[in-house]
């Protein structure tokens, strides 16, 4: 019997999960839950139901794993502890500083309900975290580096759009090649924020807006841009939609470390992602962990989990013998 998946929230991430489920023959999409009017929502999977989120409880025995596709700012802190009372869940909570609190909230609710709640799944947090952890356990005497990009930062694009006179905008985060090269060469550089990434912005102005004023406002925006070398390009709405409508992302996790009795040997571990679609890749990671949630639950486990807690084999549709024969 296949693993029955539910989706709460049908934005880019929800659609990505729907596509990922299609690629996994041991899973099926049971239903999508939305805050919109269900009759207004068109999904891609003909066999799946579309329901209002208020009806979710009625699906308690018809869904094995519920995937929460809301945002980390306001949706998930409420939804994850709430829905884990009814379902095994996977979320992509990505506010790094608030992960311990979120974990504790989900853990309490999940243990009471006897369910599994896997939080903060995706690529960062997620696969990048895993790679930071494996690499630092293997090379305890070393130094970590994470570079993001080249990719679209939704948060930075939004920040530009809030400036007066801006009609539309897209922001790319770009790793500095020289910094990456220095890390790869084992130089263990100390890198400032400015030395690690640059920011490139494509901005469509409102009619009559003052370009130099907008540019100045972007470049001096605290937290978002002031600490970076930022380039601003003004483009037409047409050009923005034509050349910058994708949501690519990716990045690099590196660890350089020393081994040997006198630390005479150097090593480099590098993990890289190059993604055409940030939400679709995130969804693929989430769906693999939904398989793990299902299996952990079947074993009788409960509580909150992260990528650190889950044996890799639980993500794969293959069994242990096949994995050992084909992949080890």
Nearer to its own copies by C-beta: 64 or 124? 124
CA distance 186 to 207: 50
DSSP 126: B
Report the residue count for the chain: 328
Residue choice 11, 60, 211, 308 for contact with its own copies (CB under 8 A): 308
Nearer to its own copies by C-beta: 105 or 230? 105
DSSP bridge pairs for 199: 173, 230
DSSP bridge pairs for 143: 256
Stretch that binds its own copies, among 63-71, 160-168, 201-209, 275-283 (CB under 8 A): 275-283
Number of residues that bind its own copies (CB under 8 A): 70
Count of alpha carbons within 13 Å of 317, Cβ hemisphere only? 10
Contact between 95 and its own copies by CB under 8 A: the answer reads no
Residue 32 contacts residue 14 (beta carbons within 8 Å) = yes
Residue choice 6, 9, 16, 117 for contact with its own copies (CB under 8 A): 16
Q: What is the 3-state secondary structure (H, E, C) of 84-102?
A: CCCCEEECCCCCHHHHHHH
Contact between 324 and its own copies by CB under 8 A: the answer reads yes
Residue choice 46, 190, 245, 325 for contact with its own copies (CB under 8 A): 325
The nearest distance, CB 184 to its own copies, in angstroms, is 8
* Binding to its own copies, residues 104-163 (CB under 8 A): 120, 125, 127, 129-134, 136-141
**Site of tokens 């679609």:** 277
Residue 216 contacts residue 203 (beta carbons within 8 Å) = no
The nearest distance, CB 33 to its own copies, in angstroms, is 20
CA distance 126 to 286: 9
Cis check for the bond before 150: say yes or no (omega within 30 of 0). Answer: yes
Stretch that binds its own copies, among 34-42, 56-64, 219-227, 312-320 (CB under 8 A): 312-320
CA distance 183 to 189: 7
Residue 91 contacts residue 80 (beta carbons within 8 Å) = yes
Residue choice 227, 231, 275, 301 for contact with its own copies (CB under 8 A): 275
Residue choice 232, 285, 290, 293 for contact with its own copies (CB under 8 A): 285
* Binding to its own copies, residues 180-239 (CB under 8 A): 184
Enumerate binding residues for its own copies (CB under 8 A).
16, 18-20, 22-24, 44, 96, 99-100, 103, 120, 125, 127, 129-134, 136-141, 184, 257, 259-261, 265-277, 280-281, 283-285, 288, 291, 306-313, 315-317, 320-321, 323-325, 327-328
């Amino acid at each position: 019997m296949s693993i029955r998946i539910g989706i709460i929230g049908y934005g880019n991430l929800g659609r990505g999960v729907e596509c990922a489920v299609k690629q996994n023959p041991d899973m099926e999409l049971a239903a999508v839950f939305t805050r919109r009017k269900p009759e207004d929502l068109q999904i891609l999977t003909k066999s799946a139901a579309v329901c209002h989120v208020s009806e979710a409880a009625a699906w308690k025995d018809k869904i094995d794993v519920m995937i929460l596709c809301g945002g980390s700012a306001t949706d998930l802190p409420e939804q994850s502890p709430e829905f884990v009372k009814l379902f095994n869940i996977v979320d992509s909570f990505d506010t790094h500083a608030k992960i311990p609190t979120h974990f504790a909230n989900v853990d309490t609710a999940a243990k009471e309900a006897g369910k599994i709640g896997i939080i903060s799944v995706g690529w960062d947090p997620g696969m990048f975290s895993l790679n930071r952890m494996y690499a630092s356990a293997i090379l305890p005497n070393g130094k970590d580096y994470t570079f993001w990009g080249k990719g679209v930062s939704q948060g930075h694009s939004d920040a530009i759009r809030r400036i007066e006179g801006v009609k539309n905008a897209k922001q790319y985060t770009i790793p500095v090649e020289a910094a990456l090269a220095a890390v790869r060469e084992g130089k263990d550089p100390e890198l400032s924020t400015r030395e690690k990434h640059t920011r490139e912005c494509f901005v469509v102005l409102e009619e009559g807006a003052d370009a130099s004023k907008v540019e100045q406002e972007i470049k001096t925006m605290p937290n978002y841009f002031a600490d970076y070398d930022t380039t601003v390009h003004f483009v037409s709405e047409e050009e923005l939609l034509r050349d910058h409508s994708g949501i690519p992302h990716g990045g690099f996790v590196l660890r350089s470390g020393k081994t040997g009795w006198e630390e005479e040997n150097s090593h480099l571990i590098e993990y890289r992602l190059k993604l055409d679609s940030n939400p679709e890749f995130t969804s693929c990671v989430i769906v693999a962990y939904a398989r793990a949630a299902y299996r952990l639950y079947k074993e009788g486990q409960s509580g909150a989990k992260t990528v650190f807690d889950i044996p890799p084999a639980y993500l794969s549709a293959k069994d242990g013998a096949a994995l050992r024969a084909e992949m080890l």
